[in-house]
Structure 1
Amino acid sequence: MGTGAATVLTGIWLVLVPVREDRAAARAYDAATTCVPGTARERAGDCLSAVPAVLERIREEGNRNPATYLVVARADGSREDVRLAGSSGARHTRPGTALLLVGWRGQIRYVDYDHRAAGSGAAGSGAAGSGAAGSPAAAPPTGEGPRPSSLLTDHDPHTAHQTPLAWALGLVPVGAALVWGGIWYAWVSSYSRRRSPWQLWMPLSGLLALAAFTAPCALIFDGVREPLRWAGIVTAVVTAITAVCCLREARRGSDTIDVVPCADEKVRIFPGHLLGDTAGPAGTRRHTHIVAGPGVLEFTTDPSGRLRGTPLPPGLVLERVRHQYATDPGREVRGSKYEIYYVAQCRDGDEEVLIAVERRHMPWLVGALTP
């Protein structure tokens, strides 16, 4: 419970501190002007500096989502790898193209590859001198930001808030799920006999689905208001669906599951376990499958059903089908592929017999048992 509360508070902190700081930085970037040599803003890097360079080659790293780097040579002969935010525009840039590296607060924010926009004179403090490898002098950047001929780097201030905002939108529902799980096991779990009660897994599933749908909103939409608006819409939809499912389960008022019996002339073999059976080797269950068909109803350890098994008692009467209870003997029965097991609650005289069968196979067991 404490971990969940800390997770929720972390998500709120991400919105109130890092996201706000990143948005303030984006506004300052939009208002920045070209650096004037010798000024305090130029020394602090709080203005747009322009450095001419020449593209040497384009390098990609990774397979699924490759990162694109521009290997550039500056006027002073130094080389630098500039990572781009995308690679679509870089494919049309050929080696030897004159570039303009526009920086702000010590990071290259975008790269202009349209050398025809070059002008005369220096472009801020970093643009003094001639271009590398004979490239023309570049025009200084303006406060209007990148042009269509520009390539944004991964240091774009307009998208810096997306990662902490996505984490925040994901952490808050996950933290709420952890809080509810702690509350359930601390105070509410004694009210349910099920091993997997709907009061626990339905809200948890809704909150985890909420985290899966709200976190990508920060990466899909720009700004902060639009992701929060869509996150609110998703929250309302998921909450309504979860509430409807919970109300439907609450109104049932019974753990009895209605199963339509199935029966035909075919013999079927499917996983089935007698709860409380420890007659197998090292205390394991003696049988693992059920053979059901016309005149046949028996336990077996052979998935093919070829070996003779142990017939179920002929007077076995089915009382009802229900979920697994915490009071059922033995451990919870689970499938290898997240198959849900139901329990056929039967009676052989005064003795209770509990048979766990996968949900999809329960109609065939019900059809073979005496109603």
Structure 2
Amino acid sequence: MTGRPRSTGTERWAAGCWGLLGLALGVVAAALLLVHVPERLERERDFDAVGRCAADRPPAECRRLAATVREAVSEHRNRKTYHRLTLTDAGGTTHRVEMLGRHPVFDAVSPGDPVTMTVWREQVRRVDFGELRQETTATPTGAYRLTAAAGLSTLAVSLGFLWAAWWWARRHTESPEREPRQVTVVVLAALGGAAIAFVAPLATDDLRTALLVAAVGEVPVAVVAALLVRHHRRRAGRSFDVTPRRPEKERCFPGTVLGEVPYAVPGYDHLVAAPGLLAATPDPTGRVARRPLPGTLVVERVRLPHRGDPGGTPGPGSHVVQCRDGGTPVFIVTDRADVPWVLGALGPRREALPRGGGEGN
């Protein structure tokens, strides 16, 4: 039970899964940020170069076509509402246009109303109705925002997953605990950073500002995550300082004894604690088939479950009372709330638990 535990097949599998997820998300983020965002920015610059087709006399690339509203429909699908106009131009061609929101044009028009469409590169970018003007979803202005938000947030999650893969690959050098908290901290930090990265492009006016806001927002998240990881790493394999509670009457609770000793019996999944008695039993009432733990048992410390412990995976909230019976290691696994009763039942056989860096119960 001493030394650094070796990497297992389960840990290598976990490292591989985290790594594959991280790489896949990294590829997606790269495609969004290095391909799709530049394409949308270039299209926006081209649209700006023609004055967004907003001049009284727009360039030849821009066409303004008179049209008539045939239908205005709001469609609800997948928790989202789409506002669409069906327009017919003077040549009889029908255009189905999705508007950005309801205001001001969509709410104002009715079937039969005359409108003016602004067409750029064969797509309707804007609809005018009298003095009212509204962009369509095909407008290049700001079209990069949602793509950049998706790319930056995906990149943040990708980095978190890749860090988790790296940590699992070398986990045996960091912590013996069965459920180390470092990975959880970093993955949660990555998700928090992803939320900041997603909002940044949507709340700013240009990509450079969005990147700056995202970078500044990630700093406190990264600092807090680094401090928590350092904190957990320093306390890896720590012992808990637990105050014994001597039972005045018999108490029966879930727990098991593990080790190469005769009183560690498979299926004995309950413990009976009483004054001067600690016994294992398969009976949830604790009345029959008791196996008392001997007076030679000595407590060494209380800790979290380790990967090298015998037996299966303990339930959530389990703690281990690490003991020895002569030269044989013995492990009493029970819920954290029941550890004081175990120590109290063992009574004078219990050694002083290590002090310093422990957690009180």
Contact persistence 2:247–2:273 (CA under 8 A): no
- For the pair 1:323 / 2:304, whether they are aligned, the reply is yes
Task: Give the deviation of 1:23 after TM superposition.
Answer: 1.7
Query: In structure 2, what residue type is equivalent to 1:28?
Result: D
**1:237-260 alpha-carbon deviations (Å, 9 max, x no partner):** 111101211232344475213445
Correspondence list, 1:76-115, <5 A:
76-87=91-102, 89=104, 92-96=107-111, 97-112=113-128, 114-115=129-130
Contact persistence 2:174–2:233 (CA under 8 A): no
Q: Distance in 1 between matches of 2:282 and 2:64?
A: 77
2:293 to 298, 302, 313: 313
Secondary structure at 1:109 match in 2: strand
Query: In structure 2, what residue type is equivalent to 1:234?
Result: G
**1:55-108 alpha-carbon deviations (Å, 9 max, x no partner):** 523231315222232334444445443223324556733523433332222222
- For the pair 1:21 / 2:34, whether they are aligned, the reply is no
Query: In structure 1, what residue type is equivalent to 2:309?
Result: D
Correspondence list, 1:336-355, <5 A:
339-347=316-324, 351-355=328-332
Contact persistence 2:99–2:106 (CA under 8 A): no
Q: Distance in 1 between matches of 2:81 and 2:268?
A: 52
Contact persistence 2:67–2:116 (CA under 8 A): yes
Contact persistence 1:342–1:358 (CA under 8 A): yes
Q: 1:312 to 1:254 in 2, by over 3 A?
A: same
Corresponding residue of 2:79: 64
Query: In structure 2, what residue type is equivalent to 1:29?
Result: F
Q: Distance in 1 between matches of 2:254 and 2:192?
A: 31
Report how many aligned residue pairs link the two structures: 322
- TM-score by length of structure 1 reads 0.67
2:140 to 147, 151, 157: 157
Q: Distance in 2 between matches of 1:209 and 1:252?
A: 24
Q: Distance in 2 between matches of 1:51 and 1:60?
A: 25
Secondary structure at 1:196 match in 2: coil
Contact persistence 2:253–2:270 (CA under 8 A): yes
Corresponding residue of 1:286: 267
Secondary structure at 1:151 match in 2: strand
Identity level (%): 31
Query: In structure 2, what residue type is equivalent to 1:32?
Result: V
Contact persistence 2:68–2:89 (CA under 8 A): yes
- TM-score by length of structure 2 reads 0.69
Corresponding residue of 1:145: none
Correspondence list, 1:118-267, <5 A:
149-187=132-170, 189-190=172-173, 192-252=175-235, 254-259=237-242
Query: In structure 2, what residue type is equivalent to 1:102?
Result: T
Deviating more after overlay: 25-34 vs 197-206: 197-206
Q: Distance in 2 between matches of 1:185 and 1:241?
A: 21
Query: In structure 2, what residue type is equivalent to 1:83?
Result: E
Secondary structure at 2:213 match in 1: helix
Q: Distance in 1 between matches of 2:119 and 2:251?
A: 71
Query: In structure 2, what residue type is equivalent to 1:321?
Result: V
Query: Unaligned stretches of 5+ in structure 1?
Result: 118-148, 278-283
Q: 1:59 to 1:201 in 2, by over 3 A?
A: closer
Deviating more after overlay: 265-274 vs 13-22: 265-274
Task: Give the deviation of 1:184 after TM superposition.
Answer: 3.3
Task: Give the deviation of 1:327 after TM superposition.
Answer: 0.9
Q: Distance in 2 between matches of 1:309 and 1:68?
A: 73
Query: Unaligned stretches of 5+ in structure 2?
Result: 1-15, 351-361
Secondary structure at 1:66 match in 2: strand
